[in-house]
A and B are shown apart, each in its own frame.
Chain A
Amino acid sequence: RMTQSPSSLHASIGDRVTFTCRASETIGDSVNWYQHKPGKAPTLLIYGASNLRGGVPSRFSGSAFGTEFTLTIDSLQPEDIATYYCQQGYYIPFTFGPGTKVGVK
């Protein structure tokens, strides 16, 4: 099971934003992060907890500490308004977290 916090947040453009995902058991670095905008296909941002996918802006970063995983946006941009999901890829089922919806303050 994957839990995410917060479920939603509102931030100002330029803010540093951090989301947290917690796994119910040890899964190594097997957490991936996706961005999903309404009506669009989800896009992979981070894989293996901290690897930035090619083409993704460097303001996105991921880290891991035990069973806690974080996604950070260094300076929130208008195009970052979306829902963000973590997903564990360590064992079947490849569970997604419930998501964090980001809005502008």
Chain B
Amino acid sequence: QVQLVESGGGLVKPGGSQRLSCTASGFDFSDSYMGWIRQAPGKGLEWIAYISDGGSSIYYGDSVKGRFAVSMDNTKNSLYLEMNSLSAEDTAVYYCARGGRVSQSRFFDYWGQGTLITVSS
């Protein structure tokens, strides 16, 4: 079955960097759109990044544009999120999710369990 497993979470100092990984199984990763969504403590879900199959198109939310970078390695069935210039506002549980599409609507049909990033000195 479809599985997404995030890793790389932890405590990071303000201004620091961290790389999250998401390992996929149970579906054709190379033919899939993927996304990153986060949830800050006590807040709702926030979409932050989306990458097309093959990585030819990448989109970011305004709150992370210029600081975060998404990539994928089809040989390892893995999705990555490189996070730089982290601040307390980036403290959140980060989820990777598989993208789906029906006509013009894109959705996220499978999600990982999430990994927590805490930015604090």
Contact = CB atoms under 8 A, between A and B. Distances in A.
A48 interface: yes
B105 A31 contact: yes
Contacts of A36: 45
Given A41-B111, A98-B44, A92 B50 contact: yes
What is the predominant secondary structure among interface residues of chain A facing chain B?
A: loop
Nearest to A47: B107
Interface stretch (B11-19, B79-87, B96-104): B96-104
Given A41-B113, A44-B108, A96 B44 contact: yes
What is the predominant secondary structure among interface residues of chain B facing chain A?
A: strand
Nearest to B50: A94
B47 A96 contact: yes
A96 B116 CA distance: 20
14 contacts: A29-B103, A30-B105, A32-B105, A32-B107, A41-B113, A41-B114, A42-B111, A43-B111, A44-B109, A47-B107, A48-B103, A96-B45, A96-B47, A98-B44
